[in-house]
Amino acid sequence: MNNNNNIDRLHLAELYLLVEFDKACRASGLTYFLDSGTALGAVRHGGFIPWDDDIDVGMPREDYEKFMQVGQSLLPKDIFLQNKQTEKNYMRNAAKLRLEGSVFPESYELPLVHNGIYIDIFPFDYLPNNRWLAKINVKYVVEMLHVIRANRGIGRSKSPSKFRRGLDVIIKRMPSRLIDGLEHHILAFARKNQNQETNLMTCYFWRMSQTHEYLFETKKMLPVRDILFEGKKVKIMREPDYYLRLMYNDYMIVPPVEQQKTHCKGDIVFGRFEQSTINE
C-alpha cells in the first residue's frame, strides 16, 4: 500500500467484514471481542490504527468452535470462513474471514484459493488456575506448535532456543502422519479446559506468543461489552485498559514511524471496494 486512498479502501472492506461478523455472533449468541491492535485502535483512535492493515478478534474456545460450525451460514455470500476444514492448504490454527473477489498479498508460504482481504479470528483457551502451571502449559503448547508449523513451511521460529532447535531436529525426522498425530495431541492438550471457565485464559496462536507468555484474568476479559469502532457498535473485553497494559504497556503513546509495520506484501485488489473510501 502506497497512499491514503488505499488504506482507506482497505479499512472500509475490513470494517464490512467486522460488522458482518458482529451480526453473525449476535444472531447466534456467541461471544467475541476485539483483539490485539484492533482493541488498541478502538481505545486509542476510536477505530483503526491509521497505518494498520488488518483486524483481529478473539473468541473463547467454545464460542470459536461453534462459530466454525455455523458461521458460514450466517454470513453474506461474499465472505468466506477459512480454516483447515474449508481450505485444503490452510495450515493455521486460527481462522480468517475472507472477502471474495479481493486479493491481499501476504507472506503465506502455501498457495490458497481464498486469499482476499481478511480479519483474523483467534481462539482463546482456558488455563489451569495455578499461574506456574499455566505458564508451563503456554510454553509447552507454543513451542511444540511453532516447531510443527516451521517444519511445514508456515512461519519461522522467533526464539531459537536450544529446546526448540532440539525439537526441530526430532520433528524433521518424523513421517508426516506422526507429525499430524502430534499436532492433534498438542491441540487437544491446549483445549483440555474448554468446558470449564477457569481464572486464566490465553491465546496460543499469536505470533507474539513465541516470545511472551500471556496470562489473562478471565474476570477482566469476560463478559464482554460494547464499544464504538469507526462509529459501529462492536464488542471488546470487559476491561480493555487491563488487557492493553499487559499487551503494550503505555499503550496511549503512538510509536515512531519506523515501528509502524504492516502485513501487506504487494498490491491489493479491493474487489467491490475498489472505488470506495472510508470517509464516504
Residue with cell 483447515: 84
Residue 152 is predicted with a pLDDT of 62
Scanning the chain, the segments in alpha helix (DSSP H) are 4-28, 36-44, 61-74, 131-151, 162-172, 176-190, 218-221, 240-248
Distance CA 40, CA 121 (A): 16
Indicate the pLDDT class of residue 68, thresholds 50, 70 and 90: very high
Indicate the pLDDT class of residue 220, thresholds 50, 70 and 90: very high
Instruction: Convert the pLDDT of each residue in 102-131 to its tens digit.
Output: 998 876 556 788 999 999 999 999 999 999
Indicate the pLDDT class of residue 260, thresholds 50, 70 and 90: low
Q: What end-to-end distance do the CA atoms of the chain give, in Å?
A: 20
Distance CA 162, CA 255 (A): 33
The residue-averaged pLDDT of 194-204 equals 92
Q: Which domain holds residue 91?
A: 4-273
Instruction: Convert the pLDDT of each residue in 128-185 to its tens digit.
Output: 999 999 999 998 898 888 778 766 655 555 555 666 667 777 777 777 788 888 889 9
Query: In the 8-state DSSP scheme, what is residue 103?
Result: B
Single pTM value for the model: 0.88
In a domain, 226, yes or no: yes
Instruction: Convert the pLDDT of each residue in 225-249 to its tens digit.
Output: 999 999 999 999 999 999 999 999 9
- Of residues 260 and 278, more confidence is placed in 260
Residue 56 is predicted with a pLDDT of 97
- Say how many domains are in the chain: 1
- Tell me the percentage of the chain whose pLDDT exceeds 90: 59
Distance CA 131, CA 217 (A): 10
The residue-averaged pLDDT of 199-224 equals 90
Is the pLDDT score of 16 beyond 80? yes
In a domain, 278, yes or no: no
In a domain, 259, yes or no: yes
In a domain, 185, yes or no: yes
In a domain, 142, yes or no: yes
In a domain, 279, yes or no: no
In a domain, 280, yes or no: no
Half-sphere exposure of 26 (CA within 13 A, CB side): 11
Question: In 130-163, which positions are buried (b, 16+ CB within 10 angstroms) versus exposed (e)?
Answer: eeeebbebbeebbbbbbbbbbeeebbebeeeeee
Distance CA 114, CA 81 (A): 9
Indicate the pLDDT class of residue 6, thresholds 50, 70 and 90: confident
Helix (H, G, I), strand (E, B) or coil at 143: helix
Which amino acid appears at position 272 of this protein?
Answer: R
Residue 214 is predicted with a pLDDT of 92
In a domain, 160, yes or no: yes
The residue-averaged pLDDT of 265-279 equals 73
Instruction: Convert the pLDDT of each residue in 70-95 to its tens digit.
Output: 999 999 999 999 999 999 888 889 99
Distance CA 22, CA 31 (A): 9
- Tell me the percentage of the chain whose pLDDT exceeds 70: 86
Distance CA 117, CA 130 (A): 40
Residue 153 is predicted with a pLDDT of 56
